[in-house]
Structure 1
Amino acid sequence: MKPLLGCVCMSLPIPACQCAVCPSFSGQHIAQERIVGGYAPVPHSIKYIVSIQTRDRRHVCGGFLINKYWIVSAAHCNIGVHKMLIVAGDYSLTIYEGTEQEILPHLVVTHPAYNSTTNNSDIMLIKLRAPIDLNSYVSIALLPRQGTAISEGRVCRVSGWGYTSPRGSQIPSTLRTVKLPIISSKRCNSSESFNGSITENMLCAGYSIGGKDACQGDSGGPLVCDGRVYGVVSWGRGCADAQFPGVYTAVSKFRRWIDNTIFSYYSKCNRF
């Protein structure tokens, strides 16, 4: 088996076991998830995806819009509410297209059970200061019901602005996407793969021959199956490796938490 590699995310050290996807473009060869073997979709056809950026407009992670005020992403993408900028309606991060909407976040809520060592419960909610304008370039993503499982072999699609090569040397000029089949937790947890590190709150997707995967910079992005977001890009080992598929936070395990968190916030606001 290949040795586990340590990494540094946004200048923060990450344990050298099952390193989470670093939300930065450091150019280091690190154990993370990347969109490799994919293609550029029709411009603005994936309308629910957003780019989470620093205030100086450097892409950090992906995310997806679930209503006009709320974004879902990975908890390890939390760089701090005062350092974060949300961009919706984008396709090329390097060209101004006139379709972009830049919104500052008001609140970041990471899941209370998130564990940065095991990557369990790697999910967070971001509330925006102002509502996103839903239009021809921006729309919301649908979520699965609580506890709904996605079957092994089901082909899903993950998208993002992450690196396009295993060594993380190339940042794509436009959004990229790739289709991947779901892999059973049993296979993903086998001694030949992640050896028990996959919890019930995670799911795996990839090909037995490798070659296609999500990547550094894709963290927090959506894995869409049957028209609903079943996974959030979370972590991995290597990139597009046949032995180690991509690991995603299983959204259906957190649907109740998502709904309750949003409802709780609105309830508090409406008391006054």
Structure 2
Amino acid sequence: MILDELRNRTTVVDIKNHPYIVSIQKEMIHSCCGTIISSSWIMTTSRCLTQPGSDVQLVDTTKIAVVAGQSQLGLGKMQLRRAKNLFLHNRFVKKMLLNDIGMINLYEPFELNDYVNVVLLASSISKPYKFFSSCYVISWTVYRKDFLSFDKLRAEDEKTKKLFKVPELQQIDLPTITYEECCDRIEAKDFITRNQICTEYGTLKNISCPADAGSPLICGERQYGIFSWGIGCEDDDYPGVFTKVSSFRKWINNIEMDPNVYIFRNKGVLGIRLKHSIIILVEMFIFIMK
């Protein structure tokens, strides 16, 4: 019944209707989703930017590419940009996926047009998401068995094309639920905070799968959430959990305005204020010289 309802809520959409969504690729294979918040900046999850395993280790930036402008991944015109720097939230907790938000700074900005453009972000003064009758998630239908490389998708051989399913951009209407209801249904209150948004359902085969991390939750015309996690990859009976964008607007703005104030390392502290560290070192030097 739930799967039937979700199928009725799902429609194939054109990238022109959602030009802000991008495919974040690791070694040219779709890994997760993100959104364009300015021509040089992509917003996604911290989970997307870290290597597999319990340790918080950044992915090698040379292996990350961001693809925009395609309704079907690997087919048609696209814009491809390389990652320059990766930014994780300084309070990201990987084991619990708390503060699961990250950003990518691109080497070259996207050329904005009808197929590639920025998303409007929710803020503290935006209409609360709970006032919308329904929100929706945008994602490609990438199943775990169908992680595809562009080389295979571009192949002219008809036999090769039949072996792989081309991921299509889809919109799934999902009503949101309260914090209390989300905690009750997931039965893991420690994993849910007020900095997250939950939707009534989490999956339609793909919406709780790793490739959907970073997918935007759109309410009205603004992005209110970033898909973070769900229970299982095909279990439609649990809510989907999204990072609440409005809770992190200050952090987003700080990174955009001056990314050099943050430095990162693969282990230990994820973010420190570089400027503050320099000031402390200068003060120590002056003290020693006295």
TM-score (norm: length of structure 2): 0.71
Paired AA for residue 156 in structure 1: C
The structure 1 residue matched to 2:45, chosen from 74, 94, 97, is 74
Paired AA for residue 47 in structure 1: P
Q: Is 2:20 aligned against 1:48?
A: yes
Gaps of 5+ in 2: 1-5, 50-58, 147-164, 263-290
Paired AA for residue 213 in structure 2: S
Q: Counterpart in 1 of 2:72?
A: 92
- C-alpha distance 43-127 of structure 1, shift in aligned 2 (>3 A): closer
Q: Counterpart in 1 of 2:271?
A: none
Q: Is 2:66 aligned against 1:65?
A: no
Runs of 4+ in 1 over 3 A off after TM superposition: 146-149, 168-172, 210-213, 239-243
Aligned residues: 225
- C-alpha distance 267-244 of structure 1, shift in aligned 2 (>3 A): closer
Partners in 2 of 1:227 and 1:124 — Cα distance? Answer: 22
Q: How far apart are 1:39 and its partner, in Å?
A: 2.4
Bigger shift: residues 198-207 or 60-69: 198-207
Gaps of 5+ in 1: 1-35
The structure 1 residue matched to 2:187, chosen from 189, 194, 214, is 194
Paired AA for residue 73 in structure 2: L
Partners in 2 of 1:154 and 1:255 — Cα distance? Answer: 24
The structure 2 residue matched to 1:175, chosen from 169, 175, 189, is 169
Pick 1 or 2: higher relative contact order, CA cutoff 8 A, min separation 6.
1
CA contact (8 A) 1:178 1:212 kept: no
Please report the RMSD computed on the Cα atoms of aligned residues, expressed in angstroms: 2.5
- C-alpha distance 246-174 of structure 1, shift in aligned 2 (>3 A): same
- C-alpha distance 181-240 of structure 1, shift in aligned 2 (>3 A): farther
Q: Is 2:104 aligned against 1:126?
A: yes
Bigger shift: residues 234-243 or 196-205: 234-243
TM-score (norm: length of structure 1): 0.75
Paired residue secondary structure (1:51)? strand
Superposed CA offset, 1:192-214 (max 9, x none): 42331211111101249x76872
- C-alpha distance 147-194 of structure 1, shift in aligned 2 (>3 A): farther
Q: How far apart are 1:241 and its partner, in Å?
A: 4.1
| Structure with more of its chain in helix, by fraction | 2
Q: Is 2:135 aligned against 1:156?
A: yes
Q: Which has the larger radius of gyration?
A: 2
Query: Identical aligned pairs, as a percentage?
Result: 31
Paired residue secondary structure (1:62)? strand
Q: How far apart are 1:146 and its partner, in Å?
A: 3.5
Q: How far apart are 1:261 and its partner, in Å?
A: 1.3
Partners in 2 of 1:172 and 1:206 — Cα distance? Answer: 28
Paired residue secondary structure (2:197)? strand
